[in-house]
Amino acid sequence: MALTARLIAKMQATQTGSNDFGGPNFTPEISQIIDLTNGTTAGKADILWMDQRTVSSASSDDLDLAGVLSDAFGSTVAMAELVAVFVVNAPASGAANTTNLTIGAAASNPITGFMGGTTPTFGPIRPGGFLFFGCGDAAGFGAVAGGSADTLRVTNSSGAAATYQIGIIGRSA
């Protein structure tokens, strides 16, 4: 199974009023695109895992990225490097979430390469919010080591279950 992917991060805005750029409109844009082809070196990736998952109130969903999860075709996901992680605190359709999510290293076998430390977290990701990391260079943005550093944790605050969307792109070597 070959993989190609395009990661697009973009912030675009229009603000009106007087400004140093001479006009009544200020329309800045910041964007970055990473195109990936199939493989395991810089600018490449060969593993895709995407899912919509539900985590109970005041609970965690531990995602083992080396040998437990299955991709859309039933193959076991066994990542060695992370290239992209995209988490949306909202279901693809249906009622909106009412609780916050936190993304981080699990207590057991935590992925620490892209987060530093042993139990760092990103969040809260409020309902409807998202978190997006991507890096296509030779090392990606985090190493995955099966059995010792392979678990990413999604933690839900208390109050209600939360359905979230997650996409992870990685390399097998």
Task: Give residue-wise pLDDT tens across range 20-55.
Answer: 766 688 889 999 999 999 999 999 999 999 999 999
Q: Please give the tally of structural domains in the chain.
A: 1
- Per-residue pLDDT, 22: 67
Instruction: Give the domain CATH number at 103.
Output: 2.60.120.380
- Per-residue pLDDT, 119: 62
- Per-residue pLDDT, 1: 80
In a domain, 7, yes or no: no
Query: Which residue range is the domain that position 163 belongs to?
Result: 34-171
- Residue ranges, the chain, pLDDT below 50: none
Q: Do 60 and 118 touch, CB atoms closer than 8 A? A: no
Query: In angstroms, rounded to a whole number, what is the distance separating the alpha carbons of residues 125 and 102?
Result: 6
- Per-residue pLDDT, 121: 82
Residue from 84, 83, 67 nearest 75 by CA: 67
- Per-residue pLDDT, 113: 65
Query: In angstroms, rounded to a whole number, what is the distance separating the alpha carbons of residues 41 and 172?
Result: 10
- Per-residue pLDDT, 142: 83
- Per-residue pLDDT, 116: 60
- Per-residue pLDDT, 157: 97
The vertex-71 CA angle with 69 and 75, nearest 5°, equals: 85
